Structure 1
Amino acid sequence: MKKLGFACILCFSLALLNACGNATFNGSSTGNDTQFIMEYSILNTSDHRAMPLKTGDVIDTTVVSDDGSVDIQVENSEGEQIYSETDVPTSEFEIVISQDDTYTFTVTGHRAKGSVSFVNR
């Protein structure tokens, strides 16, 4: 009986660990026409937002990388990349928009913990 109880507990523990190890996202993600903000304790997937922007708009970008890594990609409506970087460290930078268009901001995490924000001044 003790062996059966131990086996049940072991199986439950392994199932729980497996479920936790496969988590894709735990956090918050919000956005609109002027911003895209994510905060996460686990990011193992991609999220994106589209923003209509004008020539000369400046996107203030902040990345906080507490663990894992994040990749950022920004492309216009034709699929042309205007910014692409892998394993972005904690940093602040600007992305300047060169033409009127709708741009898609994509964040992909790899066991990431931290936050990312894109805010149009």
Structure 2
Amino acid sequence: MKKLGFACILCFSLVLLNACGNATFNGSSTGNDTQFIMEYSILNTSDHREMSLKTGDVIDTTIVSDAGSVDIQVENSAGDSIYSETDVPTSEFEIPISQDDTYTFTVTGHGAKGSVSFIKS
């Protein structure tokens, strides 16, 4: 009987660990034509938002990396990259917009914990 109880506890523990290891996202994500903001305790996937921007617009970008890594990709409607970086550390920077277009902001996490924000200034 002790062996059966131990086996049940072991199986339950393995199922629980497996479920936690497969989590792709735990947090919040919001966006519109002027901002894209994510906060997450687990990010093992990609999320994106589109923003219609004008020549001369500037996107104030803030990355907080508490664990894991996060990749950032910003592309215009033709798929041309205007910003691309992997394993972005905690930082603040600006992304200048050089032409009127709709831009896609993509965030990809790898065991990431932290936040990102892209806000049109």
Per the shorter chain, which TM-score range?
over 0.9
What is the SS of the residue equivalent to 1:79? coil
Match of 1:44 in 2: 44
RMSD between aligned residues: 0.4
Identity %: 89
Aligned to 1:78: 78
Helix, strand or coil at the partner of 1:3:
helix
Partners of 2:37 and 2:13 lie apart in 1 by 34
What is the number of residues matched between the two proteins? Answer: 121
Distance 1:60 1:49 in 2: 15
TM-superposition CA deviations, 1:50-107 (whole Å, max 9, x none): 0000000000000000000000000000000000000000000000000000000000
User: 2:95 matched to 1:95?
Assistant: yes
Q: CA deviation at 1:2?
A: 1.2
1:2-81 superposed matches below 5 A: 2-81=2-81
Q: Does 1:118 align with 2:113?
A: no
CA-to-aligned-CA distance 1:16-74 (integer Å, 9 cap, x gap): 00110110000000000100000000100000000000000000000000000000000
State the distance in 2 between where 1:38 and 1:69 align: 14
TM-score, scaled to structure 2:
0.99
**Structure 2 residues without counterparts, runs of 5 or longer:** none
Q: Runs of 5+ in structure 1 lacking a partner?
A: none
Q: Distance in 2 between matches of 1:8 and 1:76?
A: 53
Question: In the alignment, which residue of structure 2 is the partner of 1:105?
Answer: 105
The code of the aligned residue for 2:86 comes to T
